[in-house]
Structure 1
Amino acid sequence: MDRRWRWLGRRWWVRWWRLRWLRWRRRVQRRRSRRKILMLDAVERVVSPFLTAADAALGGGYSAVLYGSAARDDYVPGRSDVNLILVVEDLSPAALRALGSAFAGWRKSKLEPPLVITRAEWDRATDSFPVEIADMRTGYEVLRGADPLRQLEVAPTDLRQALEREFRGKLLRLRQGYAASAGDPAALGALAGRSAGTMMVLLRGLLTLLGRAVPKDPLQLAVAGAEALGVDSEPLLLVVRHRGDANWRCPPESFEPYMDVAARAARFLDQLQLGDRS
C-alpha cells in the first residue's frame, strides 16, 4: 500500500511539474507573439513610408536591407532601433537632397536614421566594419534590390582585431559606469540594460569568428557565447532577461561578473590563434 501511495505521489509531482512547464512555455510564446506583432507594426509604420519616398527619390536601382533585432524577431519596444541600410549607386549631394523627404518622415519616429553608402564603398567595407557586417549576416532581410551581403566576406584577422578592440572598449565603459554609479542598483540596471545589445552583437561576432552556430534566441546566444569563452553563462543570462526592463535594479554582486565577461572576452581574443578556432 505504501509503495502504491509513493507511486501515486511521484506521478502527481510529475504531472504538476509538467503543467507548470507547459504554462511557462505558453507565457513565453505569448510574449514572443506580442513582441513580434509590435516589431512588425514598428517596421511597417516606419520603414514602408521611408522606402516609398526613397523609391520616388532614387527611381530604383538601389538595395535596402533591414538588419538587427527587427530582422531577427528580437525587437524590444522602447529600446531597440529599426536598423536599415541603403546601398546606392550614386550619393552625390543632389541624390542626398532628394532623399531628404524620406529622412524627414523617419525623423518623426525618433529612431536612429538609416545608413546610406555607395555600392563601391560597400564592396570595400569589410575591413572597416568587420563586426557590423558579420553581425548583419547573422540576420537580415532584403527589402529592395539585390542582396548586397550575399558575396561579402569578412576576413577573420579583421574580425578578431575589431572584436578585441570593441570588447576592450565595452569593458572600459562598464568600469567607468560602475565607478560612477557608486553601487546604486538602479544605475547599474540601466547601464547593464543599455550595454546588452552591444554585448550580443559582439558575442555573435565571436561565434562567427570561431565558426560556431549563432543562435537567434538571445538567451541561447548568451549560453553559446559563455560556452565559447569558458565562463559561467548566468551573468549574461541575467542581463539579457532584464534588458527590456526599465525599472530593473542590478546589485553590484550581479553586475561585477557581467563586467568580467567583457574582460575575459578581450583576453580570449588577444590570445586567440586563428589557426585553432575550436
Structure 2
Amino acid sequence: MAKIPDQPQDIFVPLTKDYLKAFGKDLISLMLYGSAAGGAYVKGKSDINILIVLTPEGINRLEDGFALVKNWKKRNVAMPRVMTKAFIESSLDAYPIEFLNMKNNSILIHGENVLESLVFNPEDLRLQIEREFKGKILLLREGYLESEGSARPVRQLISRSVMAFVSIFNAMLYLKQAKAPRNKRETIIEINKVFAIDAAVFMLCFDIREGVDKLSSTEVIDVFKKYLREVEKACHIIDSL
C-alpha cells in the first residue's frame, strides 16, 4: 500500500528519480508549491502540489508521465501543473496572482528555480486583484441570499471562500512592496497594518473554517456581514490605487 509521506520532503528523492527516468534532459525543473511548501502540510489531508517544467520536446510526450501521475496520486501528490518556461513568461500578465503565490510558497526539488526571478507588472497585478475581489463579492452576496439567513450554509460559505483572500491579500502586499508572510494569520495581521483591513473578522472566519469557534447562529451571521463589508472595503482600496 502506498505510504502517505510524513513530510513532503520525504518524497523528493524518489519523485525526482521517477520524473528524470521519464523525461531525462527534457525535465528543466521540479518544484513543490502551495501550502505544503509554506509549512501548512497536514499528513493525510493536504495535497502535495508539484510544478513540472519541461522543454517543448518534453511537453510533446506527456504520455510518458501517465503511470507516474497515477502512482504518485496514491501518496497524495496532486495532478501536477506542467508548463514550459515560455508558457510561464507569457502568462505573467494574465495570471500574476497565481504565479506570485507560487513564487512565495515554493521549494526547489530538482533543476532550475524557474520562479525565483519572476517580476510582476504592478498594473497587471492590480487589475487581477480588482477582478478577483469583484467576482468574489458577487459570489458572497449570492451565497448569502441562497442561505435565507440560516447559519449553517453561511458557515459553509465562509469556510469555502475565506482562504482565497489570503492569496489576494499577499498580492496587495506585493504592490506595497511588503514581504508576504507564508502563514495565513500572519498575512491577515500584515494586511491590517498596511491597509487597515479588520484582522479580527478574518481570524474569526479562519476559526469557523477550522471548526474551533464557539459562535452562536446569530453571531455567525454577524461575522459574515462584517466579512463581506471588509472584502468590499478592500475592493474599494485596490480600485483607488
Within the candidate set 3, 8, 20, 1:55 is matched to: 20
Provide the residue aligned with 1:260 in structure 2. 229
In structure 1, how many angstroms separate the alpha carbons of the residues matched to 2:60 and 2:214? Answer: 47
CA contact (8 A) 1:49 1:105 kept: no
Provide the residue aligned with 1:31 in structure 2. none
Matched, 1:186 2:152: yes
The one-character-per-residue Cα deviations of 1:91-136 (angstroms, maximum 9, x if unpaired) are 5665210011111123445664110011221222211210011112
Provide the residue aligned with 1:102 in structure 2. 68
Q: Percent identity?
A: 27
Q: CA deviation at 1:139?
A: 2.2
Q: CA deviation at 1:167?
A: 1.1
Counterpart of 1:53 in structure 2: which amino acid? D
Max Rg structure: 1
Within the candidate set 73, 76, 80, 1:114 is matched to: 80
159-168 vs 212-221, greater mean Cα deviation: 212-221
Matched, 1:41 2:6: yes
Within the candidate set 97, 105, 113, 1:139 is matched to: 105
Provide the residue aligned with 1:65 in structure 2. 31
- Tell me the TM-score normalised to structure 1 length: 0.75
Provide the residue aligned with 1:205 in structure 2. 171
In structure 2, how many angstroms separate the alpha carbons of the residues matched to 1:138 and 1:119? Answer: 18
The one-character-per-residue Cα deviations of 1:55-87 (angstroms, maximum 9, x if unpaired) are 211114320111111111123567643222111
Change (3 A) 1:183 1:42: farther
Provide the residue aligned with 1:29 in structure 2. none
Matched, 1:124 2:90: yes
Aligned residues: 234
The one-character-per-residue Cα deviations of 1:129-180 (angstroms, maximum 9, x if unpaired) are 1001111222210111011012211110110001111111111111121111
Provide the residue aligned with 1:152 in structure 2. 118
Q: CA deviation at 1:242?
A: 3.5
Change (3 A) 1:147 1:45: closer
- Tell me the TM-score normalised to structure 2 length: 0.85
Provide the residue aligned with 2:192 in structure 1. 226
76-85 vs 229-238, greater mean Cα deviation: 76-85
CA contact (8 A) 1:62 1:145 kept: yes
Matched, 1:74 2:40: yes
Counterpart of 1:199 in structure 2: which amino acid? F
Provide the residue aligned with 1:26 in structure 2. none
Provide the residue aligned with 2:183 in structure 1. 217
| Partner secondary structure for residue 142 of structure 1 | strand
